[in-house]
Amino acid sequence: MIELPGTYPFAEGLSAVVFLDFDGTLTPVDIGDTLLCRYSNAAELLPAVRAGQLSVLEYYREVCRKLRATPEELAAAACEIGLRPYARELVESCSRHGAGVAILSDGFDAYILPVLRTAGMEHLPIACNLLRWTGSGYEPEFPWAQQRCQLDCPAPSPCAACKRAALLSWAPPSAAVVYVGDGMSDFCPALFADVVFARGELVDWCRSRGIGYIPYGDLFELRQRLEELFRRRRLFQRYLPLRRRQRAWVEE
Ligand SMILES: [Zn+2]
């Protein structure tokens, strides 16, 4: 379910929450990049985003203006790619251990929702950007964009949907915060998580910043490692990330 700022999607009294990135983490490839390269001019612009010359907001406004596909075509192409194996089992395992699960994405509802619906996972809270179909074109909306992130995002280009903002507003004050991601849009929230599971670019970034992380290969392995943490009661709040969350709560 798409959630907007100001909502709180979890039950009271959770001891842990698990935030999952969508593109490239729950899915085998970045579905957003794939669709926006196929149906718009993303391939031309992505290098500038990665080099820090174009913000994700500006990039999305430009590619959405040139996007040539109907909502049905976007949904069908996204569902053809779908989720990685064990995505659903991962979420079920977290719920069984009493943890809240949410999906944080700097992508769009237009392809995230159809994929989750097909997998029977649309009930999960989702923070992401919105893509409105006007009948002849698209208008992107960025409810999770943060002025603060535009100033101090640790990624080369600031986020559109800032996952740090969603993590901070949804992390219960006394729960352990787990973050799972793989790419540039995960740098911003990773600083605020007690436990980071990382793949791909996020690994290099955590290393360069001296942030502890647990590497994982696929979602089966991720589920196993998480279950081990639940079983051994190794999920708890850690000093530095908790201090960062507390400081951000005071400042924001
Ligand atoms: Zn951000």
Model confidence over 195-221: pLDDT tens digits?
999 999 999 999 999 999 999 999 999
For residue 159, report the distance from its CA to the centre of ligand 1, in Å: 5
Q: Per residue in 224-249, pLDDT tens?
A: 999 999 999 999 999 999 999 999 99
Q: Per residue in 137-182, pLDDT tens?
A: 999 999 999 998 988 899 989 999 999 999 999 999 999 999 999 9
For residue 96, report the distance from its CA to the centre of ligand 1, in Å: 30
For residue 1, report the distance from its CA to the centre of ligand 1, in Å: 21
Domains by residue range for the chain, with CATH: 16-251 (3.40.50.1000)
What pLDDT shows up at residue 24?
A: 97
For residue 163, report the distance from its CA to the centre of ligand 1, in Å: 6
What pLDDT shows up at residue 121?
A: 97
For residue 65, report the distance from its CA to the centre of ligand 1, in Å: 23
Q: Per residue in 12-67, pLDDT tens?
A: 989 999 999 999 999 999 999 999 999 999 999 999 999 999 999 999 999 999 99
For residue 123, report the distance from its CA to the centre of ligand 1, in Å: 24
For residue 164, report the distance from its CA to the centre of ligand 1, in Å: 5
Q: Per residue in 86-123, pLDDT tens?
A: 999 999 999 999 999 999 999 999 999 999 999 999 99
For residue 135, report the distance from its CA to the centre of ligand 1, in Å: 31
For residue 49, report the distance from its CA to the centre of ligand 1, in Å: 14
For residue 12, report the distance from its CA to the centre of ligand 1, in Å: 26
For residue 2, report the distance from its CA to the centre of ligand 1, in Å: 18
Tell me: pLDDT of 252 over 80.
no
And the tokens for 220?
């089966």
Question: Quick one: which of 81, 79, 69 has its CA closest to 29?
Answer: 81
For residue 184, report the distance from its CA to the centre of ligand 1, in Å: 10
What pLDDT shows up at residue 59?
A: 97
For residue 25, report the distance from its CA to the centre of ligand 1, in Å: 18
Tell me: pLDDT of 250 over 90.
no
